[in-house]
Amino acid sequence: MTEEDVSGADERREFLAGRLAAVRDRIAAACSAAGRPLDAVRLLAVTKTFPASDVALLGDLGLTEFGENRDQDAAPKAAEVAELRPGLRPRWHMVGQVQRNKARSVARWADVVESVDSPRLVEALTRAVAAARESGRRESRLDVLVQVSLDGAPGRGGCPPKEVAQIAEMVDHSGELRLIGVMAVAPLGGDSERSFETLNTVSDLLRRDHPDAVEISAGMSNDLERAIAAGSTSVRVGTALLGTRPIA
């Protein structure tokens, strides 16, 4: 590594440290405004499009949960982070739509899939996790969240609220997956406050039959305060932490 690389890394570390402090302040302020304890909301760093070196630096700064939305990027990145920081125990979340033919790969690197939205995906992930465990490529079950669509618009993932119970039931019976909660992305141009309230209601109903499914993954860089006010337990933050993503 040249001296230039080292000072570039120092600059990036300082940038990320500043952004992280600001995001943590926003989360803390939103928690106290909502009368919720500070540890009620976790921070998931959405590192999609950013390099493994950024994940390593965020790990040095104390983060352990990272989100990715494309299997083809995340699989090599997770391997690279394991080499860069063998002592870090990252918890990788898949937050993007999972194509069923990618389920086998996802089952090897993901600790959590947040975007489960159909019975067929439950089936594909169940088979994939079973295969990964049989071949010794994973030990534990896969934690999953049911992604809920709050505007009924297809294309951005998520199932209608009325399908959540059936998908949750299938997850429970899979033997390979563990239901931990619900996830949503606020509809574009919609009333995000109402959407997050709807998600909270969906979560309440789900927990009647699945008391352990306590996670509510909601809120991103632009709307994390509104999500925390409505009960989010995990905010997924990319831009506010890492900067503007390069356009794909």
Ligand X SMILES: *Cc1c(COP(=O)(O)O)cnc(C)c1O
**Contact residues for ligand X (CB under 6 A)?**
46, 48, 69, 95-96, 185, 220-222, 236-240
Q: Select the residue whose beta carbon is closest to ligand X and give its number.
A: 238
The smaller minimum CB distance to ligand X, of residues 96 and 231, is found at 96
The smaller minimum CB distance to ligand X, of residues 132 and 146, is found at 146
What is the C-alpha separation between 67 and 141, in angstroms, rounded?
18
The CA-based angle 41-17-114, given to 5 degrees, is: 35
CB of 212 to ligand X, least distance (A): 23
CA dihedral in degrees (145, 146, 149, 153; nearest 10)? 110
In 2-144, which residue ranges form alpha helices assigned H by DSSP?
3-33, 52-60, 71-84, 103-109, 119-134
Write b or e for each residue in 189-225: b if 16 or more Cβ atoms lie within 10 A of its Cβ, otherwise e: eeebeebbbbbbebbeebeeebeebebbbbbbbebbb
The smaller minimum CB distance to ligand X, of residues 59 and 158, is found at 158
The smaller minimum CB distance to ligand X, of residues 111 and 169, is found at 111
The smaller minimum CB distance to ligand X, of residues 132 and 180, is found at 180
CB of 209 to ligand X, least distance (A): 26
What is the C-alpha separation between 213 and 189, in angstroms, rounded?
29
CB of 211 to ligand X, least distance (A): 26
CB of 70 to ligand X, least distance (A): 10
CB of 119 to ligand X, least distance (A): 21
